[in-house]
């Protein structure tokens, strides 16, 4: 059973060109997952099926996550045997953040963060906003790694993985954002799916490279965070794994009754699977329902906030910048470094000027 559960998804990934999961729409991956879920439930092997299901779900998460951040097809990891660890040329940081995303401990009701910031695709597509936010998150990850190393050296025996998440800012990047960035970086070939199918927007080579750069930055950030050896104290970046995201979409009949009637009718399964904006808004409503004690904020640029407000997202729950406090410290260090460089440059110019003047005086005095 271990090798059969969700094996059709892994076979589908292996058969794609360059193993690029963005070559087919998001809704098809959700459909394949539902098919495997139905087959699993029809077998009714509940005693050992739970562990097999978790292991098979981990395989799906690894395959899809490694595909959206891969730069070549050999970096896509396919695990057909749930008892076998990853044996391909992957770094420990990659394996760690894939496993952490598959566990999805942040979704547990026991983990109530100080605040949750849900990243949208439109936010990651803004170079200035995304670059500044990713820079601050990366700086927080590096500071956490340095602090963890010091704590391990001073109190090695007292170190524990438990931490007070009430003081931590959780930045959540849904798989749908990574998938959409990958899809925009490598546009799919036009298919005849119907007269009402909207053609994909043509993007320049520079825009496509910007999407790939953002994916690479997030991938490196997750590796830095997982290799730091401890929990981040100020901010923690988590990726909403594909399997848990699919599970959230399956709770659509539970989420819709809590929305206003006209807007609830807009959140159909077809629209959630096909529209990236609708999907991000739905995930926000799902988090509002499941994480009631944690404030939720969507990160989106000013130009896209009106579209989110039309999907029952309150204006005070949308922000165009992350509240990560490390950014101010990072900018302060950059400013200090800039002042230092200016001082060194001024001293160098002064030394050269005095040397030139001394040489001129020597030549004037020597007959």
- DSSP states of 128-188: HHHHHHHHHHHHHHHHHHHHHHHHHHHSSTT--S---GGG-EEEEEEHHHHHHHHHHHSPP
Query: Which pair of tokens denotes residue 85?
Result: 């660890």
User: What does the radius of gyration of the chain's CA atoms come to, in whole angstroms?
Assistant: 25
**111, exposed or middle or buried, with CB in 10 Å at 0-12, 13-18, 19+?**
middle
What is the helix (H) or strand (E) element at residue 299, kind and residue range? strand 296-299
Residue length of the chain: 367
Comparing C-alpha atoms, which of 348, 26, 186, 44 is closest to residue 52? 44
Distance CA 17, CA 13 (A): 9
Give the Cα separation of 297 and 322 in Å (integer): 9
Contact (CB, 8 A) for 281 and 307 = no
Q: Give the pLDDT of the chain (367 residues) as one tens digit per residue.
A: 445 688 899 999 999 999 999 999 999 999 999 999 888 887 765 544 578 888 889 999 999 999 999 999 999 998 865 444 444 445 655 667 877 888 888 888 888 888 999 999 999 999 999 999 999 998 888 887 665 555 555 544 444 444 456 778 899 999 999 999 999 999 876 544 444 444 567 788 999 999 999 999 999 999 888 877 655 567 889 999 999 999 999 999 999 999 988 899 999 999 999 999 999 999 999 999 999 888 999 999 999 999 999 999 998 899 998 888 654 455 556 666 677 677 777 787 777 788 887 777 777 777 6
- Mode of pairing for the β-strands spanning 296-299 and 115-119: parallel
């Amino acid at each position: 059973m271990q090798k059969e559960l969700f094996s059709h998804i892994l076979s589908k990934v292996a058969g794609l060109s360059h193993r690029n999961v963005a070559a087919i729409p998001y809704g098809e991956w959700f459909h394949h997952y539902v098919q495997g879920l139905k087959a699993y439930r029809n077998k009714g092997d509940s005693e050992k099926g739970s562990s097999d299901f978790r292991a098979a779900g981990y395989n799906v998460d690894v395959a899809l996550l490694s595909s959206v951040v891969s730069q070549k097809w050999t970096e896509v990891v396919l695990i057909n045997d749930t008892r076998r660890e990853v044996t391909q040329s992957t770094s420990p940081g990659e394996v760690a953040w894939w496993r952490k995303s598959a566990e999805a401990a942040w979704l547990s009701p026991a983990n109530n963060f100080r605040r949750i910031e849900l990243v949208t695709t439109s936010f990651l597509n803004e170079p200035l906003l995304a670059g500044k936010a990713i820079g601050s998150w990366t700086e927080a990850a590096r500071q956490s790694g340095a602090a963890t190393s010091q704590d391990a050296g001073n109190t090695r025996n007292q170190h524990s993985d438990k931490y007070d998440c009430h003081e931590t800012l959780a930045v959540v990047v849904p798989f749908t954002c990574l998938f959409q960035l990958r899809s925009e970086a490598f546009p799919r070939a036009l298919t005849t799916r119907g007269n009402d199918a909207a053609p994909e927007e043509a993007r320049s080579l520079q825009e496509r490279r910007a999407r790939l750069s953002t994916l690479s930055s997030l991938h490196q950030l997750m590796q830095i965070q997982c290799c730091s050896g401890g929990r981040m104290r100020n901010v923690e970046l988590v990726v909403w794994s594909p399997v848990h995201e699919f599970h959230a979409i399956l709770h659509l009949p539970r989420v819709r009754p809590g929305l206003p009637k006209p807007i609830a009718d807009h959140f159909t399964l077809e629209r959630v699977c096909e529209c990236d904006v609708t999907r991000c808004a739905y995930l926000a409503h799902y988090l509002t329902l499941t994480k009631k004690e944690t404030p939720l904020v969507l990160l989106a640029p000013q130009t896209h906030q009106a579209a989110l407000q039309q999907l029952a997202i309150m204006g005070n729950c949308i922000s165009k910048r992350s509240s990560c406090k490390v950014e101010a410290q990072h900018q302060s260090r950059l400013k200090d470094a800039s002042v230092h460089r200016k001082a060194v440059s001024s001293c160098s110019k002064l030394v050269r000027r005095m040397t030139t003047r001394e040489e001129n005086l020597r030549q004037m005095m020597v007959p």
